[in-house]
Amino acid sequence: MIMVLINILSMLKTSQTKSVSPDAKPANEPVVVESGCLFGSNRVVVIKHQGEQYRLSLTKQGKLILTK
């Protein structure tokens, strides 16, 4: 499940995140995205991956939950 999230985040491009050119990092380096850039003022982000929707939720305790 964590690898799915890493793959989703590495492909994610929004106006709040910087797109990284393929030459910027070696292929084995993951793209790092701050959670604040994903959530903004929201507590839930919907991620579409291969035709499926996943919900990434921020809990009151500051933890992340990914559900299908």
Domain ranges of the chain: 1-15+35-68
DSSP 8-state code for residue 24 = S
Cα gap 53→23, rounded to integer Å: 30
Residue 1's pLDDT band (cuts 50, 70, 90): very low
Cα gap 48→27, rounded to integer Å: 23
Per the listing, tokens 């809990």 go with 59
User: What's the fold here for domain 1-15+35-68?
Assistant: Complement Module; domain 1 (2.10.70)
Question: What is the pLDDT at residue 28?
Answer: 84
pTM of the model: 0.58
pLDDT above 70 for 31? yes
Residue 29's pLDDT band (cuts 50, 70, 90): confident
Question: What is the pLDDT at residue 16?
Answer: 43
